[in-house]
Structure 1
Amino acid sequence: MQSPITIRLGARARRRIASEGLRAADVAIIPAAAGGPKGLVLHGLDLWLFGEFLRKAPRQRRLIGASIGAWRMAAGAFHDPVAAHKRLAHHYAHQRYAATVTSADITRNCRALLDEVLDGRGAEMLSNPDHHLSVIAVRGIGPLAQAAGSRWREAAGFLRAAAANAVSRKRLAGAMERVVFHDSRDDAAWLKQQFDAFATRFVDLSADNLRDALLASGSIPMVLQAVSGIAGAPDGAYWDGGLIDYHLHLPYQRDPGLVLYPHFSDYIVPGWLDKSMPWRRARDASLENVILVSPSQAFLAKLPNGKMPDRSDFKAYGQNHDTRIRDWTRAIGESERMAEAFARWVEKPDLKVTVPF
């Protein structure tokens, strides 16, 4: 029987696992990619990771994500992460929209979704003794600094940004900067030394800005409204963190520990605008301590429509919400097979079934 998962290992991670196995105590960072509904296919892994594996060895860990990845990592920082992840998966899958919908409608719906996930207890995430949350968003600069509130200016600004990115990812840095909202107990030192072309700002997470930071991190341009007036953050319009950090190509090698990365893809794309550019996929030393766990092609083939849930489903299913919810719920349930397979591998790692970056 074909495995439901693919495991990629960086060179340092491979050596460490070969000599010591994969121990929860060695895991220092958990990243989570942007990607909207695709994150639902990782639900089983999230439940196992936060509900069982990491609890075997409490220690300070960094949870970092963008968009739905930030929402997943926020759920992981609750005192009861299993209940929080179940709330997130349920309410995300059960979104419903009218046939004609505006960005204001979607923004309101996502705020309500976050309220359900936070359940009035968001402060738990800021006091978790072991898990320190970081949420990545993007702040518009240059023409995008004035784009919020005008659909025409927003569209024009992002078209210019996309054209610049097509020439060079470095040119995108003229249109936006990375903003890391991080647990105030974590100095985020591993990110503060420049590692790419983008300016990076750091803002302490607090009870006053947690929900806005999470909403901003998932605010897809032209789909949701930009978020502004975030407490403690520089003035400006904030959008989806995946624009710069789609799959979170970050300097993981700076941490001596391991990076355990449940991901919906078996490769890492730096930014959302790089999706159609396979030559920009990450293959550098930053991944040397990364363990990337993703659904195999055999697993995906057995999901409804032969693929993981994605944002195009909202259009494909249209007003047939019940069918979409049924299919997404089935995909969420199937994700338990990924967790079971990875748990077996962790118990007795077989390096022969893994692949390098």
Structure 2
Amino acid sequence: MATPPFELLAGPAAYHHIQHNGLAPEHIHSVFGASGAAKWLTIYGLDRAIFEQWLPKSTHPIHLFGTSIGAWKLAAAGQSNPGWALNELAEGYIGQNYADGITQPVVHRELMKILNRFLQQPQADDLLSQARFNYHCGVARCHGTLSREAAWPLLRGMSSAFVRNFKGRRHLNRQFERVIFADPRRMPAVAATDGIPTELQPLNANNLRDAVVASGSIPYVMAPKTAIAEAPPGIYRDGGLVDYHPVPANFWREPGLILYPHFYPWLLPGWYDKYLPSRRATGSALDNVVMVVPTAAFVASLPAGRIPDRKDFQRFKHNDDERARRWRIVKERSLELGEAFMSVARAGDWAKVTRAI
């Protein structure tokens, strides 16, 4: 068998499990999705294979938790027809058009186009009624100047959060609360260990779409959500501010293996950790985690040898067709990851593609 274009990175307990028991759908109790905007296109095909072909072989309920694009993709993946929904999300994301400028009203218009492609009310109702999946998404409720929308106060709030985070993650607790909008049929067990106040709010047909939008509401780029039905008043922004690549040990108390399809071979806990490689989560924080990531060789084979990102909107500001062309190549190439994943699953050769974190 040729070298697969993906690998499994497993925490200590997960690595021991795979070495002795392999990996099967019935072993997975939670699936996590990270923030990262256009980066998600790199693993679109992997997510399709997992949710269309692999996880349907299980019969037990599985928690889904994500922030930002991770929340959006899991809202698609958890539906009755995940292949259709994930494709609509990907095509909508690729098709964004900012010829009128990248302003909050234009960004809102484009994101509502995407949302309406895969998560209108019938799909929201479907997601919340799934027997196999329980969907949850993370949102950051903001305080102080981060609750202001005027440019300068918001800038001061963002700068203050950066300084506080540099001193230690627990210092963010005056500016952020972690709010998990959760399926009330099966609320996840959570208890924060990182000093950030954490609460659960029940999802329902009236607030699901707003919660998903709030989870991806990037400061400056999008206006925050200020009113989410049946949730306390507040300023709700991108969940990635608190949980950029959600690290389960920081708040998740559900037992069992956590499957984590991801575009990078590392997890950075919060958005403010992007420039602090030392903050990458270590094996002790990822005990039950099984990350599924593309290899460096696969990434090098993509257009320009890199994972696409949100900065491409500026890189190709006057050549949107080229951006879309490259992103669509990445989307189509990502199907190779899904095919390879299913090939390994059929052969049961998990140990050969797994290494300890």
TM-score, normalised with respect to structure 1? 0.95
Amino acid of the structure 2 residue aligned with 1:195 = T
Question: Which blocks of at least 5 consecutive residues in structure 1 are unaligned?
Answer: none
Distance 2:252 2:181 in 1: 21
Amino acid of the structure 1 residue aligned with 2:333 = E
Q: 3-state DSSP class of the match of 1:181?
A: strand
Question: CA offsets, 1:37-77, max 9 Å, x none?
Answer: 00111111111111010111122000000000000110011
Deviation of the 1:128 alpha carbon: 0.6
Q: 3-state DSSP class of the match of 1:179?
A: strand
Distance 1:2 1:54 in 2: 23
CA contact (8 A) 2:141 2:177 kept: yes
Shift of the 83–316 alpha-carbon distance from structure 1 to 2, 3 Å rule, reads: same
CA contact (8 A) 1:34 1:242 kept: yes
Deviation of the 1:331 alpha carbon: 0.2
CA contact (8 A) 2:138 2:180 kept: yes
Instruction: Write out aligned runs for 1:135-150 (5 A).
Output: 135-145=137-147, 147-148=148-149, 150=150
Q: Which residue of 2 aligns with 1:344?
A: 343
Q: Which residue of 2 aligns with 1:58?
A: 59
Q: Which residue of 1 aligns with 2:199?
A: 201
Q: Which residue of 2 aligns with 1:115?
A: 116
CA contact (8 A) 1:76 1:85 kept: yes
TM-score, normalised with respect to structure 2? 0.95
Amino acid of the structure 1 residue aligned with 2:201 = V
Q: Which residue of 2 aligns with 1:277?
A: 276
Distance 2:229 2:18 in 1: 42
Deviation of the 1:18 alpha carbon: 2.0
Distance 1:284 1:216 in 2: 30
Q: 3-state DSSP class of the match of 2:105?
A: helix
Instruction: Write out aligned runs for 1:251-266 (5 A).
Output: 251=249, 254-266=253-265
Q: Which residue of 2 aligns with 1:71?
A: 72
Distance 1:108 1:155 in 2: 24
Amino acid of the structure 1 residue aligned with 2:256 = G
Q: Which residue of 2 aligns with 1:22?
A: 23
Distance 1:141 1:25 in 2: 41
Distance 1:13 1:194 in 2: 22
Between 126-135 and 154-163, the greater mean CA deviation after superposition: 154-163
Q: Which residue of 2 aligns with 1:250?
A: 248
Deviation of the 1:2 alpha carbon: 4.7
Deviation of the 1:129 alpha carbon: 0.8
Q: Give the percent of matched residue pairs that are identical in Structure 1 and Structure 2.
A: 37
Q: 3-state DSSP class of the match of 1:311?
A: coil
Q: Which residue of 2 aligns with 1:217?
A: 215
Amino acid of the structure 1 residue aligned with 2:316 = Y
Instruction: Write out aligned runs for 1:139-218 (5 A).
Output: 139-145=141-147, 147-148=148-149, 150-189=150-189, 191=190, 193-218=191-216
Question: Which blocks of at least 5 consecutive residues in structure 2 are unaligned?
Answer: none
Q: Which residue of 2 aligns with 1:319?
A: 318
CA contact (8 A) 1:17 1:349 kept: no
Amino acid of the structure 2 residue aligned with 1:140 = C
Q: Which residue of 2 aligns with 1:49?
A: 50
Deviation of the 1:227 alpha carbon: 1.0
CA contact (8 A) 1:267 1:282 kept: yes
Q: Which residue of 2 aligns with 1:128?
A: 130
Q: 3-state DSSP class of the match of 1:128?
A: coil
For the aligned residue pairs, the C-alpha RMSD in angstroms reads 1.6
Q: Which residue of 1 aligns with 2:355?
A: 355
- Misfit runs of 4+, over 4 Å: none
Shift of the 329–236 alpha-carbon distance from structure 1 to 2, 3 Å rule, reads: same
Distance 2:26 2:356 in 1: 23
Shift of the 214–253 alpha-carbon distance from structure 1 to 2, 3 Å rule, reads: closer
